[in-house]
Structures are given as structure tokens and as C-alpha cells.
Amino acid sequence: MNELTAREMELVAIGAAIGSNCVPCIEYHIPAAKREGLTNGQILAAIQIADSVKKVPSQKVYQSALELVEKDKKIKSAGKMSK
């Protein structure tokens, strides 16, 4: 882990904390990032990027659920038409 600076490690930690919904991690790493000299803007950018990445799987699950419901509705409709 020597290839990342302390500042970079804090940004990664903030991203991981957002991704894992870890409030104690956020409470630790945001002040640590500030101590390492990161600005509020840099920290906010990391938070926003992590949140955007985190939302992709939930959007995919949501879309898959909707597609399954629609597929089920179509199958049931087709079954009623053939009776």
C-alpha cells in the first residue's frame, strides 16, 4: 500500500465507506482526510463519485424487478387469451 499517498488512501477509504454504508467509517475517514490536507471540495467529490457508483447495482436490481413483473403480467395475459 506504499504506492498510494495518505491523501489518496483517505479518498479510497471514504469511497469504500460510502459503498458499504459504514457510518463509523465515514465519521473516522472524513476528519482524517481533512487532517491530510484534503479540501471539502475534494472530499465531497469522492463522496459523490462513490454514491454514483453505489447506485448502479441498485438501479440494475430495480430494473430487473420491474422487467420480471412485466414479464409475469404478459405471461398471465397470454394465458387468459388462450382460454
The letter for the amino acid at 21 is N
Q: Is residue 42 part of a domain?
A: yes
Domain that holds residue 42: 6-81
Tens digit of pLDDT for each residue in 34-76? Answer: 999 999 999 999 999 999 999 888 888 999 999 999 887 777 7
Q: What's the pTM value of the predicted model, to 2 decimals?
A: 0.72
Q: Is residue 38 part of a domain?
A: yes
Kindly report the CATH number assigned to the domain that includes residue 65. Answer: 1.20.1290.10
Q: How many structural domains are present in the chain?
A: 1
Q: Which residue has the cell 422487467?
A: 67
Q: Is residue 1 part of a domain?
A: no
